Amino acid sequence: MIYDYLIIGAGLGGLSAGLNLVSKNKKTVILEKNSLPGGMTTTFKRGRFEFDTSLYDIYDYGTKDNIGTFQKLLKRFDLNLDTTVIPFNALVLDNENFNFEVKGNFEDFIFNIENVKKGSLPGLKEFIKITKEVHEALRIIENNQEPNEEEYPNFYKYLDKTTLDTLKDLKIPLVSIYILSYTWVDLGINLSKLNFIDFAEYIYKLIFKKDVILNTKSLSFTLKLVKKYQSGGGKIYYNSEVVNVTKKDNLFLVKTKDNLEYKAKNIIGDIFKRYFFKDLYTLEMKDVNKLENARSLSPNGIIVFLGLNKSCEELGLKNYKYYHYNTLNSDACIKTMNDLYHDTYEVVVPNVYNKEASPKNTTIVILKKTYYGDALNALDKTNYETLKTDIAQDLITKFENHFNIDIEEYIEEIEIATPLTILKYSGSVNGSLYGYSKKGYDASIHRLISYESEQIEGISFVGSSSVFGSNADNSFHSGIYVTDKLLNKGGSKNE
């Protein structure tokens, strides 16, 4: 059998690519190395707890009346998610005793910033207006057109600017900039490097399409995607790790670890290009490698999953998210984040909004700490278990002390994921959590504009390391965008 498309990996990008291709009657096969679909978006069980690795915020899904891109793309395949819209609910602290609570909707947030620093409002309002302009301009580019300079002046003005420079340009006071961008760790890059367009698009999604969470486990969502894909005639094989790809007479020959061979006219990798060209593809592709090697990997990290035998009310965990920073200044903070025991981390308590997150009278707490630089190279075979346990213990103690809570004695289950876990499970190079960093010339806008020129005959890439970057909505979107291009439809959506 010769497939039209062979997809490596059943992450969200691979699955959405598969769905789109079978909907156009393309003979498609997905080879997935794990025994389950979803990649980084998965669910695992420990004792009576079922942990989700991801999807604690789903961006750009929207509501019933205000549909976001993610929802719109799912609707193409008669699919939807069982979701709840959640308000902002985070407690933020830093080592310099700066603290604030973010509650309610975005307007409340903006007014609270004004209360902290009078005179912030005009710049913040202007910024919000610009996010809309940016969002619209991006959709135009995505559909292979050029936004009109007169209609989108700010988009052009700030196209190549960093987030920090732009927010300063809008006369937003520094302290207000830091508060506005309190989730910068989730974007994996500091404000003086983060491209403004990416920040604006992220905030646009939060303001106008809301933050939603799944009412189900994420595995039931990815299994739903697989079912739909299979009902369209798509094939998926699990436990099928691709180890080698060659090309002969315009056909790709793909080998798996268990020595099975597949033939396909086109390959789609839901994996890093860098991994594909270094480890899987046998042809030397000097130019591709040069470009790939110039890209920066996003940070990796340690994630600690805790199953606690008390309810979140009993534990006094009222907030959905907790952020602790060495300092709220992201540029200064990032310099401290190469120390194994640094003070910057975030915590999510899913039970605050999802009573079904774990059994009655229990709570799931997930702590995440990211690292810039090579700190985690210290994890090797000889000290792996002790060091990761030590870092996790330090993180739990820090969370208890910084936020004045008590969780350690209630731990029933604990699982620690390191960069090695992430690398082994998803294939993410270096265990990177957010694909490639969206900095400098490699921001989404540049990836969109240079998309065509980066194409290699018969080989495409989707997922968090590809065109739109990380997060579930972007990964899913990339699979549709790329396959729409391949199917020669030109553009994936037009809002």
Q: Which residues would be at the binding site for ligand FAD (CB under 6 A)? A: 8-14, 31-34, 39-41, 53-59, 241-242, 270-271, 303, 368, 426-428, 433, 463-464, 470-473, 475
Whose Cβ is closer to ligand FAD: residue 86's or residue 387's? 86
Whose Cβ is closer to ligand FAD: residue 12's or residue 167's? 12
Whose Cβ is closer to ligand FAD: residue 5's or residue 158's? 5
Q: Please report how close the Cβ of residue 113 comes to ligand FAD at its closest, in angstroms.
A: 24
Q: Please report how close the Cβ of residue 468 comes to ligand FAD at its closest, in angstroms.
A: 10
Looking at beta carbons, which pairs linking 277-284 to residues 24 or more positions away fall under 8 Å?
280/8, 280/242, 280/243, 280/244, 280/245, 281/245, 281/246, 281/459, 282/244, 282/245, 282/246, 283/246, 283/247
H or E stretch including 411? strand 411-417
Whose Cβ is closer to ligand FAD: residue 161's or residue 255's? 255
Q: Please report how close the Cβ of residue 18 comes to ligand FAD at its closest, in angstroms.
A: 11
Who's near 441: CB < 8 A, 6+ residues apart? none
Strands 235-237 and 300-308: unpaired
Q: Please report how close the Cβ of residue 263 comes to ligand FAD at its closest, in angstroms.
A: 16
Q: Please report how close the Cβ of residue 175 comes to ligand FAD at its closest, in angstroms.
A: 27
Whose Cβ is closer to ligand FAD: residue 41's or residue 154's? 41
- The 8-class DSSP code of residue 278 comes to I
Whose Cβ is closer to ligand FAD: residue 174's or residue 243's? 243
Q: Please report how close the Cβ of residue 35 comes to ligand FAD at its closest, in angstroms.
A: 10
Whose Cβ is closer to ligand FAD: residue 41's or residue 327's? 41
Q: Please report how close the Cβ of residue 194 comes to ligand FAD at its closest, in angstroms.
A: 17
Q: Please report how close the Cβ of residue 364 comes to ligand FAD at its closest, in angstroms.
A: 13
Whose Cβ is closer to ligand FAD: residue 174's or residue 260's? 260
One-character DSSP codes across 176-241: HHHHHTTTHHHHTS-TTTBBHHHHHHHHHHHHHS-EEEESS-HHHHHHHHHHHHHHTT-EEESS--
- Dist. CA 111–CA 158, nearest whole Å: 25
One-character DSSP codes across 444-493: HHHHHHTTGGG-BTTEEE-STTSSS-SSHHHHHHHHHHHHHHHTT---S-
- Dist. CA 200–CA 204, nearest whole Å: 6
The phi, psi pair for 171, rounded to 5°, reads 65, 30
In contact, 370 and 301? CB cutoff 8 Å:
yes
- The 8-class DSSP code of residue 296 comes to P
